[in-house]
Amino acid sequence: GTKKRATCPGLGLFYTILSAFLFSVASLLLKIIEDVHSVEVSAFRCVFQMAFVLPGLIYYKTGFLGPKGKRIFLFFRGVLGSTAMILLYYAYQVMPLADATVITFTSPVFTSLLAWIFLKEKYSLWDLLFTLFAVTGVILIARPPFLFGSRVSGLEGSYSDHLKGTIAAIASTFSAASTIVILRKVGKSVHYFLSIWYYAVIGLVGCVIALFVLNEWRLPHCGRDRVFLILIGLLGLGGQIFLTKALQIEKAGPVSIMRTMDVVFAFILQVLFLNHLPTWWTVGGALCVVASSSGTAIRKWRHSVKKAKQREI
């Protein structure tokens, strides 16, 4: 269907910036919070998602399982989506905020690659170039010793934690890209709320099982950290709502480009509240990744506009 026009120019882009800010603040709180495992934070996030989606499922009468032929796709969407969230939260906790945020922005590039493999979508030389840019950006952020020497400076903690966080962020990005490919496969046959419902329920079940296995289930000792847990859930939910509203009234291309404000906010919050100055390697990696994701978004946007004009003709 046709997208609704914004009541005022730029409203969709404003919603995108607001969404990026809320996501960035939630990431900052996750970084500040103490003695709470990333899996437990993910469980709280899933609870907030369920509380938001449940009234929508009842109102739209979608049911809780979805169409029979689509349930397997919804199940894997839930598994991969919740895995991406848990790994990303872990990456936020063990590596610099800006570094983890930048790596997540390689998702559009890997989505194009996976869509080419599994959905037989077109993959051009431009897409390959953007993929190489994204990989270069990740290498500049990870700074493996066999390329950069044994002394890696500018890290927040040990290089071991930095490497674990990098691997977790990359795995999170691949999981998120796989989720998008599954959603493309499902198409519009499944309601948006039902997709989020699977993501929240499967994520919550997985988090609870993992917490009992790891023996990490505990409430924060400090009242401040309990408030932070609630705020992380609310801010994450708010960010998702505003991003959805932005996509309803604005084309996907400009929204994808404006989402790179996540990186800008991550750098600013890291310097202001965590007192950690990014290295020039991180800045260079961020520029490579932002250029890659923006280029991918612009190409997809132009392609969709071209197809729309051809349909009109």
Asked if the structure places residue 5 within a domain, the reply is no
Say if residues 1 and 246 touch (Cβ distance below 8 Å).
no
More confident residue, 149 or 67: 67
Q: How far apart are CA 115 and CA 138, in angstroms?
A: 21
Asked if the structure places residue 211 within a domain, the reply is yes
Q: Is the pLDDT of residue 236 over 70?
A: yes
Asked if the structure places residue 2 within a domain, the reply is no
Q: What pLDDT band is residue 22 in, cutting at 50, 70 and 90?
A: very high
Q: How far apart are CA 202 and CA 90, in angstroms?
A: 18
Tokens of 86: 């848990």
Q: Is the pLDDT of residue 61 over 60?
A: yes
As a whole number, mean pLDDT of residues 236-246 equals 81
More confident residue, 30 or 219: 30
Nearest one of 86, 13, 15 to 46, comparing CA atoms = 86
Least confident of 31-35, 46-50, 156-160: 156-160
Instruction: Note the pLDDT of residue 69.
Output: 80
Instruction: Name, in order, each residue with C-beta under 8 angstroms of 25's C-beta and a sequence gap of 6 or more.
Output: 235, 265, 269
Say if residues 61 and 138 touch (Cβ distance below 8 Å).
no
Q: What pLDDT band is residue 116 in, cutting at 50, 70 and 90?
A: confident
Q: What pLDDT band is residue 167 in, cutting at 50, 70 and 90?
A: very high
Percent of the chain with pLDDT over 90: 8
Domain count for the chain, please give it.
1
Asked if the structure places residue 6 within a domain, the reply is no
Tokens of 43: 């469980």
Say if residues 41 and 33 touch (Cβ distance below 8 Å).
yes
Q: Which domain covers residue 96, as residue numbers?
A: 11-312
Percent of the chain with pLDDT over 70: 89
Say if residues 239 and 23 touch (Cβ distance below 8 Å).
yes
Alpha helices in the chain (DSSP H): 11-32, 38-60, 71-94, 97-104, 107-118, 125-142, 145-148, 159-186, 192-214, 223-249, 252-258, 261-273, 280-312
Q: What pLDDT band is residue 4 in, cutting at 50, 70 and 90?
A: very low
**Average per-residue pLDDT for the chain:** 82
Q: What pLDDT band is residue 106 in, cutting at 50, 70 and 90?
A: confident
As a whole number, mean pLDDT of residues 53-73 equals 85
pLDDT tens per residue across span 138-152: 888 887 765 665 566
More confident residue, 60 or 83: 83
Asked if the structure places residue 44 within a domain, the reply is yes
Instruction: Note the pLDDT of residue 149.
Output: 59
The separation between the first and the last C-alpha atoms of the chain, rounded to the nearest angstrom, is 17
As a whole number, mean pLDDT of residues 185-207 equals 84
Say if residues 170 and 95 touch (Cβ distance below 8 Å).
no
- Alpha carbon 93 to its chain centroid, in Å, reads 15
This prediction has a pTM of: 0.82
Q: What pLDDT band is residue 16 in, cutting at 50, 70 and 90?
A: confident
Asked if the structure places residue 163 within a domain, the reply is yes
As a whole number, mean pLDDT of residues 28-56 equals 85
pLDDT tens per residue across span 256-277: 778 888 888 989 998 888 888 8
**77 phi, psi to nearest 5 deg:** -60, -40
Q: What pLDDT band is residue 2 in, cutting at 50, 70 and 90?
A: very low
Instruction: Note the pLDDT of residue 41.
Output: 87
> Hey, is 37 helix, strand or coil?
coil
Q: Is the pLDDT of residue 186 over 90?
A: no
Q: Is the pLDDT of residue 3 over 60?
A: no
Q: How far apart are CA 165 and CA 275, in angstroms?
A: 19
Asked if the structure places residue 219 within a domain, the reply is yes
Asked if the structure places residue 137 within a domain, the reply is yes
Tokens of 167: 């691997």
